[in-house]
Amino acid sequence: MIAPLLLVALVLGVIFTGVATPVEAADIGTFGSFMVAALHRRLNWLTVKEACLTTLKAAAMVLWIIFGTTVFVGLYVVKGGQRFVEDALAATGLGPWGILIVMMIIVIILGMFLDWVGILLLCVPIFVPIIKGLGFDPLWFGVLYLVNMQMSFLSPPFSYALFYLRGVAPPETE
């Protein structure tokens, strides 16, 4: 357990000290994982192939979600959906804080069924102009938005974080 713990400490250490960006730290972690596997005599071509295929599957899943939501949001905006949402929220009479609460509830509900990329590409182009129109700081809204998205990933019925875990779990895991 010492080598994996040192690897985790190294990766987090280079991020927190500012020596490397998260992407560079991921490279360090990947290289370190190869070294730990070699140290434990578990590094072979089959293991490398399985790791590459698992990574490819997870990346492809996320990229297809990005593609689908980009197309959806593009069509939604072209067909006037943005204006519809703005008018509908204004008609509620809730005021700026009420509209903000409604937006956060929508993010939490979407987080139960979609992944973060889909929610981000779906909601941000719609919500940010509304937030600016209500007089809120977009940076403050971004922080609030991300906190609610993180909470929503752990919410039932789907807990989207479980889909990521299932994607990397062995096939016999139910």
Question: In this predicted model, what pLDDT tens digit does every residue of 84-122 receive, in sequence order?
Answer: 888 888 888 888 999 999 999 988 888 877 777 778 878
pLDDT value of position 100: 92
Q: Two tokens at 121?
A: 């590409």
Separation CA 153–CA 140 (nearest Å): 21
**H runs (alpha helix) in the chain:** 2-16, 22-39, 45-78, 81-91, 95-111, 116-134, 138-152, 161-168
Between 72 and 137, the higher pLDDT residue: 137
Buried/exposed 17-28: b ≥16 CB within 10 Å, e otherwise: eeeeeeeebeeb
Rounded Cα–Cα distance for residues 174 and 162 (Å): 12
Write the DSSP symbol of residue 160.
T
Task: Please tell me the predicted confidence (pLDDT) of residue 164.
Answer: 67
Give which of 117, 101, 125 is closest to 153, Cα–Cα. Answer: 117
What is the distance between the alpha carbons of residues 11 and 24, in angstroms, rounded to a whole number? 9
Using an 8 Å Cβ cutoff, are 24 and 14 in contact?
Answer: yes
d(CA 10, CA 37): 16
Cβ neighbours, 10 Å, residue 106: 17
Mean pLDDT of the chain: 84
How far from chain centre, in Å, is Cα 76?
Answer: 22
Is a pLDDT exceeding 90 seen at residue 154?
Answer: no
Contact, 98 vs 92, CB < 8 A? yes
Supply the DSSP symbol for 21. -
